[in-house]
Amino acid sequence: MMRVQARELPTQIQPKAMATTCPLLILISAPSGGGKTTLCQQLLAARPGMSRAVTCTTRAAREGERDGVDYYFLTAESFLKRVHSGNFLEHATVYGNSYGTLKSEVLGRMRQGQDVLLNVDVQGAATIREKAQQDQELGRALISVFLTPPSLGVLEERLRKRGTDKRAVIQKRLGVARQEIAQWKHFDYLLLSESISEDLRRMLAIVEAEKMRSSRLQAPEF
């Protein structure tokens, strides 16, 4: 499959525009099969002012995928150069392909007044939280949410219903999930998954509440 030639990535962070309320950086994490991809899709559809941070990857583009929209498609050399330059908020290698979230991508969107949504695993979430502790702008905007089914039994049932993995693979995923779920206490919110509509309702409530925090609002003039 042919590799799409990568477009020029955002490298310059523009001055922040004034706004009534500061944009949010919403990080959602979950164990495999926990439903975070579906929740992210629903949240983006419900919040027109929110955008997904486009991830960089070294894997080849699949049919129908567009560079700069679905991913930034990079060569391994280009990706590694950005790693060494400290351009990524987080990055990881999965099944031989590298993935990473550019700091300039996140801050660039936030400074345009957009809330930014990140869909990352537990390890990526930990890295971003660490970076946010060292960066006032990221720290002020970051909200972390851990989404998980109410039990491993429910998660196992969901994985089986997908019909994409053999029994041994499912058991391996459950073992990893057990370790990931144990990290819930490091997130701002724990969302026990019920239905798609209920998960979205509660996620929207979190966003609205965080929007009204006094630390994020521009002081009114009287």
pLDDT digits (tens, 9 = 90+) for 26-62: 999 998 777 888 999 999 999 999 999 999 999 999 9
pLDDT digits (tens, 9 = 90+) for 118-174: 999 899 999 999 999 999 999 999 999 999 988 777 777 777 777 667 778 788 778
Whether the per-residue pLDDT at 25 is higher than 90: the answer is yes
158: exposed, middle or buried (C-beta count within 10 Å: 0-12, 13-18, 19+)? middle
Give the chain's length. 222
Domains of the chain with bracketed CATH = 25-205 (3.40.50.300)
Q: Please provide residue 72's backbone torsions phi and psi, each rounded to the nearest 5 degrees.
A: -95, 115
Helical segments of 85-151, H only: 103-110, 122-134, 136-141
221: exposed, middle or buried (C-beta count within 10 Å: 0-12, 13-18, 19+)? exposed
pLDDT digits (tens, 9 = 90+) for 165-180: 777 878 877 877 888 8
> What pTM value is reported for the model?
0.81
